[in-house]
Amino acid sequence: MTVLQRDAFTQTVEVPAIRLPTCVLNRLVKSLKKVALHRPGLKRVVDDDQGNETDGEHRLLLLDPQSFKSAESFGPDEAAALKASGVEPEIRRYQLKLTYENLKSEEVLRAVLPEGQDVTSGFSRVGHIAHMNLRDHQLPYKNLIGQVIIDKNPGVTCVVNKTNTIDSTYRNFQMEVLAGENNMVAKVKENGVSYEFDFSRVYWNPRLSTEHERVVSLLRRGDVVFDVFAGVGPFSVLAARRGCSVFANDLNPESYKWLQHNAKLNKVETKITTFNFDGREFIRGPLRERLPDLLKSSGSSSAIHVIMNLPALALDFLDAFRGLLRGDTDRGPDEAVLPRLHVYGFSKEDEPERDVLKRAEISLGTSLKTRCDVHMVRNVAPNKEMMCVSFNMPRDVLYGEDVVEEGYLEEPSPKRQKHEETQ
């Protein structure tokens, strides 16, 4: 089946049921919920109209045939509840009509996909959009899969499949609509904040909600935040709502547009200054221009944070900080109040913490071993981790000559070169 035929799933199956007196029915239904049948659109309690007695004083509780085989399947708690109510287990066999509406996504897909092939019903939810990553053997069934996802998930009105890898320039990817409406403008709520954006033209990952909250929880009212790769604003808007002054940048014109929109949507547009630059250009331009004055005024009551959430490339951009304030006659405050950076990177190495730290040190040209924290954000794929390196910017990097320490000199990253060429 490559075109969904819902009527083909109608069938009658036999399931176990326990006959219960109506006077204790409600109490026993709660006590037996672990073994009761749970099916979308089906009632667990039915009339005893298939038995010999129809006196109205008894009803049947349908049981899950996967977990209940006989009266001995009742656990100690269930058995005790039945005994306390004076009920001797009387098991019946009930003829149950199942339809497409009563089946779960996995069951429908397992029935239509060739036997032995993986069944994919998982997806990322972005507002009304379900985003899937189908494998090659599932593509002949892609439209059927999309329709099943819409049918089984209230609120989902569009199902899309990623058709290429994330673009290294704008962090978005091409997608194909599998089912439903072709409406890519999503409305989502994350950490109490509302966002709107065109999902087909910007980057958004609902799995990063916890990380956004973790980093912003480190900020205090009055802090200054430079969000180098801001996207549509999941860090920036949340930080502004916390009372921070935010300078947010993104190279993608669409992300820049929705970043401004989300600032207004959440009434923090006066707290966020937006830019549409390349990350390195933003660091050496707007950030460089504002940093000396911010350092003079910063202290125990406020701090400066730089967020660099572009895991594929952010570590390579750290070299933009080498000698950024070289020549500034005011050497600034103690290193403890120099900007604190939160830089993201992917790693496929056996020791991802060590890997991302080493790459950060190479870009900066100095050691960070005694002054940084490395946090594991999430597992992206088998043998691929997303990491966050947090550290206070070393004074020798910020104010020194653009010369690396011995042992930290390497060729520029090929990924960075490729990124720059696409600008």
**Residues annotated within a binding site for S-adenosyl-L-methionine:** 212, 250-251, 278-279, 309
- Residues annotated in a binding site: 212, 250-251, 278-279, 309
Which tokens go with 367? Answer: 């050691």
Q: Name 395's Cβ contacts closer than 8 Å, sequence gap at least 6.
A: 331, 332, 335, 338
The Cα 67–Cα 74 span in angstroms is 9
The Cα 400–Cα 394 span in angstroms is 10
Beta-bridge partners for 196: 187
Mapped onto helix, strand or coil, the DSSP state of residue 309 is coil
Which tokens go with 286? Answer: 């707007």
Give alpha helix (H) positions in 183-310. Answer: 209-216, 236-241, 253-265, 279-282, 288-297
Q: Which of 410, 223, 202, 239 is nearest to 318 (CA)?
A: 410
| Residue 355 half-sphere exposure toward CB, CA atoms < 13 A | 14
Pairing of strands 224-227, 304-308: parallel
DSSP string, 55-67: -SSEEEEEB-TTT
Tokens 């913490």: give the residue.
Answer: 353
Q: Which of 218, 221, 273, 216 is nearest to 247 (CA)?
A: 273
H or E element in which residue 396 lies: helix 395-399
Alpha carbon distances (Å) from 296 to 290, 292, 337, 338: 11, 6, 10, 10
DSSP string, 75-135: -HHHHHHHHHTT----EEEEEEEE-GGGS-HHHHHHHHSPTTS------EEETTEEEE---
